[in-house]
Amino acid sequence: MLLEEQRKLVIETAQKASLEKLVPLTFGNFSLRDEKTGYVCITPSGMPYGLLVPEDIVVMDVNGNIIEGGRKPSIETPLHTSIYRKRPDVFGIVHTHSTFLTAWSCLEEGMPCITSEAASLAGGNLRTAPFAIQGTEELAEVTSEALGNDKAVLMANHGAIFVGSTIVKAYEVGAILEESAKVAYLAYTLGKPNRISEQIMKALEKTTEENYGQDK
């Protein structure tokens, strides 16, 4: 089997997201790009995450041509492959429908960055990509366009998507931003929270990238 370890990592990430309630039922989708072959391993369409085995993960090239796998891949495959084609720095993608980020995705202006952890991991305010029907080329186009060079973008009235240099990093951005979305909801309910300035956001992101965690 091609890329067995990578397939297992995709399953682990999807199951973690499901346990953390970042995706309801079989919604959301998860993929990684293998550095050596350039192939993408993506979750199948509409299968319960808890039951997935490596054979269920579909291996394809960045144009969506299936290399190995008997399952129908995620309907958001065009979204994942279009991001991989546009972003050579991205090796992992996580798409969730988590509650608080999805609530913010219903606002055209997106989610303001008011927590230092959102700034540290995601680099600032979250934009909302224009609405498009799920699984369409149009959704792939407008979402990858709105993502630009960022680590995350909201998808109008739908959810959010996160990218990273690994699928683990993409997942962490999604998990932290969901917490920040909850805090932002509470803070705006309490009153008028202070916004973090653009300059401070960039400084927080830089210091986290450079100083946080153990030296490699």
Write out the catalytic residue numbers.
76
Whole-number Å distance between alpha carbons of 148 and 113: 18
Binding string to Zn ion for residues 119 to 158, with x set by CB under 5 A, is what?
Answer: ----------------------------------------
Q: Which is nearer to Zn ion, 46 or 50 (CB)?
A: 46
In whole angstroms, the minimum distance from the beta carbon of 158 to Zn ion comes to 6
Distance CA 113, CA 59 (A): 36
Minimal CB distance residue for Zn ion: 159
Q: Which is nearer to Zn ion, 159 or 164 (CB)?
A: 159
User: Contact letters (x/-) for Zn ion, 192-211, by CB under 5 A?
Assistant: --------------------
DSSP 47-113: --GGG--GGGSEEE-TT--EEE-SSPB-TTHHHHHHHHHH-TT--EEEEE--HHHHHHHTSTT-B--
Smallest gap from Cβ 27 to Zn ion, in A, equals 6
Q: How far apart are CA 201 and CA 216, in angstroms?
A: 25
Of 31 and 115, which has the nearer Cβ to Zn ion? Answer: 31
Residue 201 CA to residue 35 CA, distance in Å, equals: 30
Residues lying near Zn ion in the complex (CB under 5 A) are found at 159
